[in-house]
Structure 1
Amino acid sequence: MNKPLFTGKSSLGKNPKEPSQRQLRVAEEVRHVLSDVFARTEFRNPELRDKRLTVTEVRMTPDLRNAIIYVVRLGASNVEELLPALRKAAPYLRSQLSQKLSLKFLPELRFQADTGLDYAAKIDVLLHQPEVLRDLDKED
């Protein structure tokens, strides 16, 4: 009887697409440091000056050399226009990470807009429309 060469699971029975505990732990530390930097730092770049940003999530690659940072702009939904400025500020942000974290390799930082909050707000508006509320009342 031939066994399949690859069943989609590692030898430990864990799904290989799920992040490891180390990835999750490092990602959370990176998120904390970057959130603190965004809250306390006055950026020289005029595109980032006086902009309130927060880091909602960080995802690390398995080798911990790349980090995808999901950011949201507080009080506004146009964070996409700040992504080029964040890419320019990445070397400075990496230097801040190096001062606060002790990692063998500092991850390359890639920024993406977190659209989850916008999507949730859109769903909330839809759920509060009179037509939907009327239909929800019928089910009760």
Structure 2
Amino acid sequence: MAKEYSRTQRVADYLQRELAQQIQQELRDPRIGMVSITGVDVSRDLGHAKVYFTRLGSDCADEAREAAEVLNKAAGYLRSQLSRDSNMRSVPQLRFYFDSSVGRGRDMEDLIRRAEQADRALGLRDDEPGDAS
């Protein structure tokens, strides 16, 4: 049986798809750069949405602060475009946050790789890098 999704999850998925497209096609501010929408959390009353994004070349929130400011200033415009293009009764207020999980994941991969190399150097591991034994 297919898993049923809540209304908030369906709205979040819709917002993620539409915002990614609108930011790419309609926002021409060079301070934004290459932005990907990684997730959207919608409140239960559908009044507010936290939009999480990553930016190419930015691993921490400080590096993406300017892009976050520009996106938050454009939130009203994006919201009006969403209301024009959708049949939703009301579109949630949008708030953009930098998603640092990609950078943290990259750091964790690096730590694991260095630990494996240290183990091999000490003779604690015999397998080659990338073996799944």
Normalising by structure 2, we get a TM-score of: 0.77
- Write the distance in 2 (CA, Å) between the matches of 1:23 and 1:134: 50
Deviations 1:91-140 (A, max 9, x none): 11111211222211111001111011011000010011122555872797
Report deviation, 1:40.
1.6
- Alignment: residue pair count: 118
Unpaired stretches in structure 2, ≥5 consecutive residues: 128-132
2:51 aligned with 1:69: yes
Q: 1:99 to 1:69 in 2, by over 3 A?
A: same
Q: What is the aligned counterpart of 2:125 among 92, 113, 137?
A: 137
Runs ≥4 in structure 1, deviation > 4 angstroms?
A: 132-136
Counterpart code for 1:131: A
On the 8 A contact 2:31/2:66 being kept in 1, the answer is no
Counterpart code for 2:103: D
- Write the distance in 2 (CA, Å) between the matches of 1:133 and 1:101: 56
1:126 corresponds in structure 2 to 111
Q: How does 1:77-92 map to 2 (within 5 A)?
A: 77=59, 78-92=63-77
Counterpart code for 1:137: R
Unpaired stretches in structure 1, ≥5 consecutive residues: 1-19
Query: % of aligned pairs identical?
Result: 29
Which secondary structure does the structure 1 equivalent of 2:18 belong to? helix
